[in-house]
Amino acid sequence: MTDSTRRGFLKQAALGTAAFFAYPDARVLGANDRVRVGIIGVGNRGQDLLEEVLAVPNIQLVAIADVYRRRHDEARKMAPGIVTFDDHRRLLDMKDIDAVIVASPLHTHARHFLDTLAAGKDLYAEKTMTWSIPEADQCLAAATQSGRVVQIGLQWESSGALKDARKWIKDGKIGKVTQVESWMSRNTPHGHGQWVRAIPSDCTAQNVNWSAFLNGRPERPFDPYRLINWRLFWEFSGGNVTENMVHQIAWIMTALELPLPAAAYMSGGVFSEKDGREVPDTIAVTLDFPNDLVVTWQSTFSNRRFGLGEHILGSDGTIEHGWGTSDMVNGEDNEFIRYYPEKVNQPRGEPLTGKTPDQDHMTDFIECVRTRKTPNAPVEVGYRSAIASHMANLAYRHGQRITPETARSLPSEF
């Protein structure tokens, strides 16, 4: 046994876990060392994150992996000199990478998550943490055992508004919260469904590692529509619940320090544009939490008047958080957070406006890679928000009330 595998074994023994898996020890970085980064999945979001990480001081982008060759060219334009692969395992083989950013489609998240940790690298993993509940269980266990830094791409966890909400709640300004209402609404021109992307002319079988994209889904001939528009289909996606509710439910869970939901219900359907998509565009989710709390989340793709937001409704006060065209007072699109006292229980309370600035979520990750501190959106937040999201989708797909127990008894289907 080498020193590093022995250390991995001791770490494992200390945790008292049954399965033996030695996570390799990674390079120990000093406060001023350059952090060497790789990215898996460099489409829309991956390219945003590429720009974000390049803006963090003292990092080096070493390599990217993407199944589609067009992305290699796009990434090289943004970061000349990087190495490119169409198989993420080649990137993870590189010894001179400390940290990996994953921005691949949802159905590949767990594989990229587990392989990155097994390669001894720190991880920034886009939300939703996984496509299914069993995968979330596996990823949580692996992250806990690995000792690696894991930041989930739930960037609202780094927001100033969340800090303001937490402070007001801790200061006792809200009282007993029995209900939280939240919503997210968008619109598109008639005939053009939300999320539908055009297929580039170079999106051909020759330019795509199609079996790596399928990642264990049933084999079939190359299908560029599914590669580009994976979000519309259950076998690759969880629809708007895993695309957007997850951000808001994570924010609400952190603000109120909530455990897993006790039960989930969901209704809706494909109502806005009947364009062949499987995932619903119109959604009403209800999540019951222990200790007398109901959280609702509504979503439509046919009206954007109210943008997105959350109302935390307490016996002593209300927290109103909004974004998009949701500010009914001044009509602006900016994010805002406000507190209003319930005069019946807080007669001397005054309205407040939150002003705490946001932290940069990527900078927080890179700092934690150096300091080994826990990032703002750790794996536990990724886990709880993923389980809540999957419970809601299971409730919709099976047409029944879902508890954490019933969720685990149902098959994860494509």
Ligand X SMILES: NC(=O)c1ccc[n+]([C@@H]2O[C@H](COP(=O)([O-])OP(=O)(O)OC[C@H]3O[C@@H](n4cnc5c(N)ncnc54)[C@H](O)[C@@H]3O)[C@@H](O)[C@H]2O)c1
Residues forming the site for ligand X (CB under 6 A): 40-46, 65-68, 71, 88, 103-106, 108, 126-127, 153, 155, 212-213, 215, 243
Residue 218 beta carbon to ligand X: minimum distance, rounded to whole angstroms: 16
C-beta of 116 vs 326, nearer to ligand X: 116
Under a CB-based contact definition with an 8 Å cutoff, are residues 261 and 167 in contact?
Answer: no
Residue 41 beta carbon to ligand X: minimum distance, rounded to whole angstroms: 3
Residue 117 beta carbon to ligand X: minimum distance, rounded to whole angstroms: 16
Dig out the tokens for 142 from the structure.
């692996």
C-beta of 108 vs 300, nearer to ligand X: 108
C-beta of 126 vs 135, nearer to ligand X: 126
Under a CB-based contact definition with an 8 Å cutoff, are residues 67 and 92 in contact?
Answer: no
State the Cα–Cα distance between residues 365 and 126, nearest whole angstrom.
12
Q: Pairing mode, if any, of strands 35-40 and 99-102?
A: parallel
State the Cα–Cα distance between residues 388 and 213, nearest whole angstrom.
26
C-beta of 66 vs 327, nearer to ligand X: 66
Q: Which residue has the tokens 């055992």?
A: 145
DSSP sequence for 344-358: TT-TT---EE--PPP
Under a CB-based contact definition with an 8 Å cutoff, are residues 175 and 316 in contact?
Answer: yes
Residue 66 beta carbon to ligand X: minimum distance, rounded to whole angstroms: 4
Residue 170 beta carbon to ligand X: minimum distance, rounded to whole angstroms: 27
User: Edge-to-edge strands of the sheet including 35-40?
Assistant: 83-85, 59-65, 35-40, 99-102, 122-125, 150-152
Residue 46 beta carbon to ligand X: minimum distance, rounded to whole angstroms: 5
> What count of other Cβ atoms lies within 10 Å of the Cβ of residue 134?
14
C-beta of 36 vs 127, nearer to ligand X: 127
C-beta of 122 vs 157, nearer to ligand X: 157
